[in-house]
Amino acid sequence: MQYFSLSTNVSELRIGNDSSKNIGNEIGKFIVSTMETPWKIIKDKLGQSPEKIIDVTSVELSWIEGQINGLPDFDTIVGIGGGMAIDVAKYISWKLGKRLVSIPTILSVDAFTTPAAGIRNNHDVQYLGIATPDPLIIDFNILRTAPKELNIAGIGDLFSIHTASFDWTYAHSKGKSEYSYNEEAINGGKKILEFIYNNIGNIKENNNNGLRAIVEAYISLNTICLPIDHFRIEEGSEHYLFYELEERLKRPFIHGNIIGLGIYLLSRLQNNDPKFITEIMNESGLVYHPFSMNIKKEDLIDSLLNLKNFVKSKDKLWYTVIDDCKIDMEWINQNISELKFI
């Protein structure tokens, strides 16, 4: 799959074994946004030492703004870790106009390729700013230190094309699409899904080809979505269930896994070939059952019953099947019966 075009949101991609080595020698004075485990893995590879290490414990806007106060003079912020650490780095890069370097240590979310920072404002998801990694560093040796389930989780934000594209087509058919319908974008999304399906074996094995496939698919998604200025083909009703659950339970999730749960349930609400996408998720090893995320049965039921009201309360959310379809206890009992709970 060819992944570089005029619009990728990646100024430079360095990909391979030990591709992060001595990056600290190239980027002037730098600070780091990270967490304890990824920092331990990478700190001896950077060459120079950072001016400051931000230990990320939250993506709440007030917390991030508090970290910005009192930062030392620096040229570059390096995001090292998963979605939270990189989103904090993106926000600071955008807010202060500083160079961004992204070094994901897991591939569980597409934050390392998307331009906006996914932050929270009183647990409400907001996407702010534009930041472009220069470079984006994909170090296979670092990624393989993570539990492979965390890298496999990265395909959750790619499998969501299955449900999100359906939602966009559905909204278009109802005259409710917020954007001009783009058949080329829909077809491009289908090609990304086919590419992932064809690489399921490598992704499940967590080998270099599988890791590369996830990254290439994410960057290819950008080449489709950035020129049309939205991610409608990748974000839809499956993400809305995640937003409701996060706001309800007030805790983070492994992003790709919770999106997988959304795909499982919302593909059934859509009547959108749920058997096929479930089989593919199972084959890939994607973790999506509620028990693995410590989601109680009663909490998921309450979330589903409230989902329509939740969506209506958020003006920014796009039109999906949730707006029209009935989600009652009969439907819920029919469609959660094969899910595993704690």
Residues 46 and 108 in one domain: yes
> Which residue range is the domain that position 229 belongs to?
149-335
Q: Is residue 91 part of a domain?
A: yes
Q: Is residue 157 part of a domain?
A: yes
144-181 pLDDT tens trace: 999 999 999 999 999 999 999 999 999 999 999 999 99
Residues 81 and 226 in one domain: no
Residues 174 and 310 in one domain: yes
Averaged over 228-257, what is the pLDDT?
96
Residues 203 and 263 in one domain: yes
146, 174, 208: which is the final residue of a domain? 146
118, 146, 174: which is the final residue of a domain? 146
Q: Is residue 341 part of a domain?
A: no
Residues 31 and 160 in one domain: no
Q: Is residue 6 part of a domain?
A: no
Residues 89 and 223 in one domain: no
Residues 303 and 279 in one domain: yes
Q: Looking at the 3D structure of the chain, how many domains does it have?
A: 2
197-237 pLDDT tens trace: 999 999 999 999 999 999 999 999 999 999 999 999 999 99
Residues 297 and 192: their CA atoms lie apart, in Å, by 33
Which pLDDT score, from 0 to 100, does residue 7 have?
Answer: 55
120, 146, 172: which is the final residue of a domain? 146
Q: Is residue 190 part of a domain?
A: yes
| pTM for this predicted structure | 0.90
Residues 169 and 295 in one domain: yes
| Residue 5 pLDDT class (50, 70, 90 cuts) | very low
